[in-house]
Amino acid sequence: MHNEDLSQPLQLGSLTLPNRLIMTTVKLGYGTKEGDVTGRHIAFYVRRAEGGVGLITTEPLYIRRNGRELPTQLGIHDDRLTDGLRRLVEAVHAAGGRIMAHINHAGRAANPKLVPEEERVSASDVLCPANGVTPRPLSRQEVPAYVGAFAAAARRVKEAGFDALEIPFSHGYLIHQFLSPHSNHRDDEYGGPLENRLRFGREVIAAVREAVGADFPIVVRMNAADYVEDGLDIEDAVAIAQALEGMGVQALSVTSGTMCESVPFCLYPTGTPKANLLPMAARIRAAVSLPVVVAGRIRTPQVAREALAEGQADLIGLGRPLLADPDWPRKAQSGDEEAILLCAACHQGCLAELRRGKGTSCMFNPLCGREGEELITPAEQPRRVMVVGGGPGGMEAAIIAAQRGHRVTLYERDDRLGGRFREAAQVPHKEEFADIIRYQQIQMERAGVDVRLGTTVNPDLVAAEAPDVVVVATGAQPIVPPFPGLEETRWMTAYDLLDGRAEVSTPSAFIVGAGTTGLETAEYLARQGVSCIVVKRKPEVGAKLDPLAQAVLLKRLEKLGVEVRTGVEVVRFETDAQGQTTVVARPYPHQEGAAEMRFPAETVIIALGLRADRTLADALEGRAEVHLIGDCVEPREALDAVNEGFEVGRTL
């Protein structure tokens, strides 16, 4: 009998989990260069424990310095780190939580900026495309030292008081590099048939088990599929799962992809399938008697419950959903699901900020990574606050100010909230952004914000309302250069199209601008059968996108037959008596005597970015206490608007 109740306890070896939710490993980058635990880690994990998740998994702890991925990753390679890890465990336990250490060596996926060339090791010398590293194969004489490093790390895990231990046989890391025929070309006892490729992992499990004792829970993270030529598939996964059960581990955590060849299937950005590991997890679960954990874009409690009810898994893994809302488990169990801030897989606050060396945060949860700071405190003197603009930044400012006790009224010119974010939610694979708007509306209602739609704010209205403070979040307007002949063509801005104020009724469209908006508009139209060409003057396309999201989007556009051309500078539009338009362009950079280029265009779409709308801000200068946030300062990402809204709301 399967149970769909997320709050059922489960036994994991000697450990009782109070519910079916596990926080999976998420890289944070909050450590020191030496790999020490910091106060930021402790506050982050304590907050997740308070949110009610059954078991927290740490970020990957590296077992040797040549296995690091981040300069500020947590380490477990040295006894002197045990004290910091013990402090972390004790803090999580004091908050009522349980915590599992994830120990890892990245092998060829290690960061080449951190690991000298001679120390980049793997099973074989197979290039890692993601970081350009061709590692050297570990010699037979070296293998025991790496097995020993896992065992020593496991001993420290136990000494620090962790509740369980997780080892990755997954994601193209060192053990997986031995497991997969793609990365293992050895001809010794560690290469060849599966039994031999499993040998290194088997030796690691045996040594770890000896280090932690018979009843300490060991979880193995394993791939259901590598999505790589000559990689492991579901049939291999079933055989590996059965072998792992024979090795005496306590649970299997099912994942996919490699950090070298198939990164989207490790990190699941926007545009990758939701919850697509469930059917494969079910196959693995049917082949073993161990509890099975599954993660990978399981964003809602409903999907989690269905997975349990259908017997696809015993435990549900949540990674980034708990960055967005640490209270996801508590809200799911108390029936307050409408108040869950659902992860949109946008990667803007987590992976993009991590890559910039800032440590993981979340676009929609400005408290993520700042849990240790006293941020939201009651206002000493409640004030009347007027927020102008109902995009994500304006709504965030209104919510936080109202939660602190200010009397807040939010004005929005349109008849609905969301601002430019509504347009983002129309783009294929970004439908989940609509959930953020819904969440912010609910939070405004609960905080008592007075919302007035369909109201344009001018200086007279501000004077009549006489607020103590005005937060201007009026956003930005599309840039439309004065192209000769544009007004005679059938044209629109990408923003009006995505917001439903205009539509394309012709079989083809010509899009000027190949930034994020231009590319996403092309996909939006191509999926409706409109043939699109996108042109841009400069060579980079979608430059503001996270590199992973950019690669995935360009691949989709190629499949849809969208033509993206750079080095094309639009000069003018010519429309003949029959209404046929030709786009006249020239090569960029300009070449002496280069011929003009001519493109037929049935509908022209302008996607050349945005210009800050400061009309109201300028008109109010000197008349009131005014704070500007978001795109009306300068057009950037929603991450910036939400953060600025949060900062204004908490400091008023």
- CA-based nearest residue to 144, from 81, 189, 112: 189
What span, in angstroms and rounded, lies between the C-alpha atoms of 532 and 510? Answer: 6
User: What is the full DSSP assignment across 162-207?
Assistant: -SEEEEEE-BT-HHHHHH-TTT----STTSSSHHHHTHHHHHHHHH
In this predicted structure, what is the pLDDT of residue 4?
67
In this predicted structure, what is the pLDDT of residue 408?
98
Q: List the 491-493 sheet strands across, edge first.
A: 491-493, 604-606, 508-512, 531-536, 563-566
Confidence of residue 548 (pLDDT cuts 50, 70, 90): confident
Asked whether the whole model's pTM tops 0.85, one would answer: yes
Collapsed DSSP state (helix, strand, coil) of residue 612: strand
Q: ∠478-388-457 over CA atoms, to 5°? A: 85
Cβ–Cβ < 8 Å for 66, 115: yes
Alpha helices for 479-605 (secondary structure H): 494-498, 516-526, 547-559
Average pLDDT, the chain: 94
All CATH 3.50.50.60 domain ranges of the chain, comma separated, are 486-608
In this predicted structure, what is the pLDDT of residue 615?
94
**Mean pLDDT of the 206-232 span:** 96
In this predicted structure, what is the pLDDT of residue 550?
86
Residue 340 exposed, middle or buried by CB count within 10 Å (0-12, 13-18, 19+): buried
In this predicted structure, what is the pLDDT of residue 334?
94
Q: Which of the residue ranges 381-390, 397-406, 420-429, 489-498 would you say has the lowest mean pLDDT?
A: 420-429
Task: For 99-156, write each residue's pLDDT tens digit.
Answer: 999 999 999 999 999 999 999 999 999 999 999 999 999 999 999 999 999 999 999 9
Q: What is the DSSP letter of 220?
A: E
Q: Which CATH architecture has domain 10-355?
A: Alpha-Beta Barrel (3.20)
- CA-based nearest residue to 73, from 124, 126, 34: 34
All CATH 3.20.20.70 domain ranges of the chain, comma separated, are 10-355
**Could you identify the residue written with the tokens 């009998």?**
1
Confidence of residue 222 (pLDDT cuts 50, 70, 90): very high
Backbone φ and ψ for 308, nearest 5 degrees, come out as -70, -45
173 assigned to active site: yes
Residue 521 exposed, middle or buried by CB count within 10 Å (0-12, 13-18, 19+): buried
Cis peptide before 382 (omega within 30 of 0): no
Q: What is the DSSP letter of 133?
A: B
- CA-based nearest residue to 298, from 330, 343, 352: 343
In this predicted structure, what is the pLDDT of residue 591?
84
Task: For 12-25, write each residue's pLDDT tens digit.
Answer: 989 999 999 999 99
Q: Which of 62, 173, 190, 268 is catalytic?
A: 173
Task: For 230-253, write each residue's pLDDT tens digit.
Answer: 999 999 999 999 999 999 999 999
What span, in angstroms and rounded, lies between the C-alpha atoms of 366 and 387? Answer: 19
Confidence of residue 3 (pLDDT cuts 50, 70, 90): low
Provide the total of helices (H) and of strands (E) in the chain, helices listed first: 22, 27
Q: Which residue has the higher pLDDT, 239 or 637?
A: 239
All CATH 3.40.50.720 domain ranges of the chain, comma separated, are 384-478+612-651
In this predicted structure, what is the pLDDT of residue 1?
36
In this predicted structure, what is the pLDDT of residue 448?
98
**Mean pLDDT of the 253-279 span:** 84
Residues 384-478+612-651: name the CATH superfamily: NAD(P)-binding Rossmann-like Domain (3.40.50.720)
In this predicted structure, what is the pLDDT of residue 275?
79
Residues 486-608: name the CATH superfamily: FAD/NAD(P)-binding domain (3.50.50.60)
**Mean pLDDT of the 48-54 span:** 98
Residue 406 exposed, middle or buried by CB count within 10 Å (0-12, 13-18, 19+): buried
Task: For 483-530, write each residue's pLDDT tens digit.
Answer: 999 999 999 999 999 989 999 999 999 999 999 999 999 999 999 999
